[in-house]
Structure 1
Amino acid sequence: MNEPLIELRGISKSFGSNKVLDNVDLTIYRGEALGIIGPSGTGKSTVLRLIAGLLNPDEGEIFVQGVRRQGLIEDSADPIDIGMVFQQAALFDSLTVDENVGFLLYQHSKLPRSRIQELVKAKLEMVGLSGISNLYPSELSGGMRKRVSFARAIMSNPDSLTDGPEVLLYDEPTAGLDPIASTVIEDLIRDLQLAHGVCGTYVIVTHQESTIRRTADRLVFLYQGKVQWQGKVSEIDSTDQPLIKQFMSGSVRGPIQVVG
């Protein structure tokens, strides 16, 4: 972890009168699995959208592989590709799985349809889904929809210079899933990183303890718009940091204010 891929420096972001992020510094290193944790409403998903170039910060700077980003991702391309898996899978209900996974290639490449279908089939097999290309999202379980969204996120154009995203951003990938389906997703996240080598670096936002422990190597704890703690996953059981102790135990007593 000696080469920063992405750096957030002094990032602040407000929505109306609500200041979600307050002078946040965050570094993502090549080859790491970074988990961003903390109570609901503390800006975790906002951080992902800032990294992805879907939002602009109100204050601060974002650097991607040492290059300062100017505007949104649609304004100028980053030096590396960054993919994102949204919490609700964000599939197009009116399109088949094939059309969802291959959407960008169908829309923006000159590849023949038969070639795109081959690429879609390969990505689906990579996430453990075969023979579902002609199904619609409504015909899939929640866990299957999540995996289809993974396949879409790692899809790339073989005619381009890149082999796919160098960084993947996962927003609550196991939210709403039962424990077994969650384990399948957690294993898949690690498998894509280690076995398939699709994406060696990723950032994951999650509340789920099993997902924290099984998918992250390093953690950043956000609360009240600030980074309150950073450390290895192995340190969460031994740290004396009261925020971490309360969060991991689920206790209503402690420095984290309980809403409602």
Structure 2
Amino acid sequence: MSEPLIELKGVCKTFGQNIVLDHADLTIYRGEALAIIGPSGTGKSTVLRIIAGLLAPDAGEVHVGGQLRKGLIEDAADPINISMVFQQAALFDSLTVEENVGFLLYQRSRLPRRQIRELVAQRLDMVGLSGISDRYPAELSGGMRKRVSFARAIMSNPHNPKDTPDMLLYDEPTAGLDPIASTVIENLVRHLNRQGGCQSYVMVTHQESTIRRTADRILFLHQGKVQWQGKVHELDSTDNPLIRQFLSGSVEGPIQVIG
């Protein structure tokens, strides 16, 4: 197994009276495609936000690139670069596609506008969206907005290699999309992985097609802990009752249905 990029050790997180993570442990390795699955409300998106440094655990440790993180990402830079693709794309409605994708470079670099536009065009081409730089998010379909958010996530300054993401975090990127649009996004995730957009990623999803097309390893999160983990092909052979119920969609089983 390659070196760990992220380690969560005994991580706890509570919102009000709701215990979301209960001494959870998980490890994410360099170069792997990992999916975190499980019922709604079991803390999958919370795990992503803790990994990204957007949310601090109540207890436990978060190790990033072998170093203990203290506080949030704004408190101290991580030794690796983590980028996140949010479920709702989170584009700025008042900015064009070019301005959205190149936002960090416009804000934080001294690159000339012409070079930023060229870099934006390259990233849009990688996600199959050439020629839409001057459009606004309202002019795009849901699937196109998702792909624009992918282009923004892999944008980096060529003069600062540290800007290149070491890990991408995807929060349900196919949620709300039709089956064809979902396939486009799933193929894009793998394409970016192969073409150097990012070699390591974590996918949170409920959708079985997304699990099978984008992941190599699976973590099943339930009741605040990782209850099962294995390779994708092991989903079909495991007798774990949680996995069997989750994949079948049955209301009968150890996963309690919230009425």
Describe the superposition over 1:39-72 as per-residue Cα deviations: whole angstroms up to 9, x where unpaired.
0000000000000000000000111111111110
Corresponding residue for residue 168 of structure 2: 168
The alignment's TM-score, normalised by the length of structure 1, stands at 0.98
CA distance in 2, matches of 1:73, 1:65: 13
Corresponding residue for residue 238 of structure 1: 237
Alignment of 1:40-189 (within 5 A): 40-162=40-162, 164-189=164-189
SS at match of 1:236: helix
Corresponding residue for residue 17 of structure 1: 17
Q: Which moved more, 1:105-114 or 1:145-154?
A: 105-114
The alignment's TM-score, normalised by the length of structure 2, stands at 0.99
Quote the offset at 1:224 in angstroms: 1.1
Determine if contact 2:2/2:31 at 8 Å carries over to the other structure: no
Quote the offset at 1:16 in angstroms: 1.2
CA distance in 1, matches of 2:258, 2:159: 51
CA distance in 2, matches of 1:123, 1:201: 18
Letter in 2 for 1:202: Y
CA distance in 1, matches of 2:97, 2:47: 29
SS at match of 1:198: coil
The unaligned stretches of length 5 or more in structure 2 are: none
CA distance in 2, matches of 1:217, 1:161: 27
The unaligned stretches of length 5 or more in structure 1 are: none
Corresponding residue for residue 31 of structure 2: 31
CA distance in 1, matches of 2:162, 2:238: 40
Quote the offset at 1:158 in angstroms: 1.3
- Percent identity of equivalent pairs: 76
Does structure 1 residue 217 correspond to structure 2 residue 212? Answer: no
Determine if contact 2:34/2:203 at 8 Å carries over to the other structure: yes
Does structure 1 residue 3 correspond to structure 2 residue 8? Answer: no
Quote the offset at 1:84 in angstroms: 0.3
Paired residues in the alignment total 259
Letter in 2 for 1:24: A
RMSD: 0.7
Quote the offset at 1:76 in angstroms: 0.6
Quote the offset at 1:163 in angstroms: 5.5
Quote the offset at 1:139 in angstroms: 0.3
Corresponding residue for residue 248 of structure 2: 249
CA distance in 1, matches of 2:120, 2:162: 17
Quote the offset at 1:167 in angstroms: 0.3
CA distance in 2, matches of 1:74, 1:152: 20
CA distance in 2, matches of 1:2, 1:9: 18
Letter in 1 for 2:219: V
SS at match of 1:50: helix
Quote the offset at 1:159 in angstroms: 1.7
SS at match of 1:152: helix
CA distance in 2, matches of 1:129, 1:178: 19
CA distance in 2, matches of 1:7, 1:228: 16
Quote the offset at 1:2 in angstroms: 2.4
